[in-house]
Chain A
């Protein structure tokens, strides 16, 4: 069991998400930076769908009530184990009573805490990913208890790995979206010739972009959207749907982020710079 002494800004349990309920309007959810998570699960020799904690901007303080192995990844948040600094991408053995806490956000925006065999919170519609109202709670609160199983037999084969770090990347590789052809020359020039910045309206549902493109008057029938779909509102606002994004939308879908680009964007916060590059 993990006892959450302080929950931090926005901490959730996430796995690969709910993959079969989009036609009923249920967002996929799942870890925003799944690149980081897949690596953590790999070194801990977990199943790919093992659930982790996703920690946004400010980290929690947690107490391990039973022994396990942990690994941290994603954003760099000055983590300490019993007040000793610990690194990302390395396995640590933790004992009963150990305390993990986080300090200053150094790089990125979302950090991950993985444990051996993953967290074993309740699975709803095939996933442990927290998303209200599918799961009763939208995020972890002070005093929450997050269960995991003890695996006494585990002997890590590797203790650390070198990471292909996405945190410093700013270029989002994109495909043409279904309504790409609506863009005029001016909008295209803006889209691929300008640096953009992340708006303060950014969360697990969507990232809005500060800079506007030229306005448009195209209206379309509601149709499916995906994680990484870039919508263009009539006023020229770019809205990039993320893991908790709605499953359908009525704005033109001008671009589609690659999976890697979604992971890169997940580590961006308000005012961070990004650019688009067409694949």
Chain B
């Protein structure tokens, strides 16, 4: 515990950025999540938003400016305390993906470029349990770590103006799902029919930073069924509680 040297810096007058060592590591993410849970005991949720991502945690204050010197000392004290915090439950979510060529519009190109068959790509993409290192870019967009190195395809040279909602992409060392239609430069290999962000739900996004995601391949027929179940709200996402 507390084995990391953290840096605390002002980010304008209304935010503070806390940074851990500059690397992608599950142990760092766990420490960020533990510290975030501890801060939640001290910082009023009506005033403070806490945004974790990879090796950082940004604290954003709504109302009056932050007195940085006092607050940063307080943050250090909290980081060093032995205070036990009940950590929030984290889950492994199993999400269906249809890798049909109609959805996986870049599968053929990725296949040729990486010298892998479509089936090999699917096997490599569905094998890992990806770690959610951050949520951002779009509502419900997860930054997933843990992509197999043989699927590390560079971003597309020219981003597309429109990528379909649910599109599953790979780019460099990352994979992820576009929760809404948007512009995007990742290579699209499939589509996930499950809505990842729904303003009608509480909370609107079921995934939290620190959760894990695993994909499983489904047929086109199963995709249609999931889509309909998702729309009427009866689709039940498979989840497994992770050990703390």
Q: Decide if B58 touches A24 in the complex (CB within 8 Å).
A: no
Query: How many B residues have CB within 8 A of the partner chain?
Result: 41
The DSSP consensus for interface residues of chain B is loop
Residue positions of B touching A, CB distance < 8 A: 9-15, 17, 19, 22, 24, 45, 49-56, 58, 60, 62, 133-141, 143, 179-180, 197, 199, 203-205, 209
Sample of 6 A–B contacts (CB below 8 Å): A178-B9, A223-B54, A224-B58, A246-B138, A248-B143, A257-B12
Q: Decide if A221 touches B135 in the complex (CB within 8 Å).
A: no
**A25-B62 CB under 8 A given contacts A223-B56, A258-B13:** no
Answer yes or no: A84 CB below 8 A from chain B CBs. Answer: no
Q: Considering residues A22, A24, A253, A258, which has the most beta carbons from chain B within 10 angstroms of its beta carbon?
A: A24
> Chain A nearest CB: distance from B95 CB in Å?
17
The DSSP consensus for interface residues of chain A is loop
Report how far A258 CA is from B11 CA in the complex, Å. Answer: 11
Measured between beta carbons, the chain B residues less than 8 angstroms from A125 are 199, 204
Measured between beta carbons, the chain B residues less than 8 angstroms from A20 are 45, 49
> Chain A nearest CB: distance from B32 CB in Å?
11
Q: Which of A129-156 contact B (CB under 8 A)?
A: 133-134
Measured between beta carbons, the chain B residues less than 8 angstroms from A256 are 11-12, 15
Measured between beta carbons, the chain B residues less than 8 angstroms from A257 are 12
Q: Considering residues A21, A125, A224, A258, which has the most beta carbons from chain B within 10 angstroms of its beta carbon?
A: A224
Report how far A220 CA is from B53 CA in the complex, Å. Answer: 12
The 9 closest A-B pairs by CB, nearest first: A248-B136, A224-B58, A256-B12, A221-B54, A24-B205, A224-B51, A223-B56, A247-B136, A25-B139
Measured between beta carbons, the chain A residues less than 8 angstroms from B135 are 23-25, 248
Measured between beta carbons, the chain B residues less than 8 angstroms from A234 are none
Closest to A220 in B: B22
Answer yes or no: A124 CB below 8 A from chain B CBs. Answer: yes
Q: Decide if B10 touches A175 in the complex (CB within 8 Å).
A: yes
Answer yes or no: A114 CB below 8 A from chain B CBs. Answer: no
**A224-B136 CB under 8 A given contacts A21-B204, A23-B49, A23-B209:** yes
Q: Decide if A221 touches B24 in the complex (CB within 8 Å).
A: yes
Measured between beta carbons, the chain B residues less than 8 angstroms from A247 are 51, 136-137
> Chain B nearest CB: distance from A180 CB in Å?
9
> Chain A nearest CB: distance from B136 CB in Å?
3
**A19-B62 CB under 8 A given contacts A25-B140, A178-B9:** yes
Q: Decide if B137 touches A248 in the complex (CB within 8 Å).
A: yes
Q: Decide if B136 touches A25 in the complex (CB within 8 Å).
A: yes
Closest to A177 in B: B11
**A222-B17 CB under 8 A given contacts A178-B11, A253-B11, A256-B12:** no
Q: Decide if B139 touches A23 in the complex (CB within 8 Å).
A: no
Closest to A26 in B: B139
Report how far A22 CA is from B58 CA in the complex, Å. Answer: 11
Report how far A125 CA is from B52 CA in the complex, Å. Answer: 20
Report how far A249 CA is from B134 CA in the complex, Å. Answer: 11
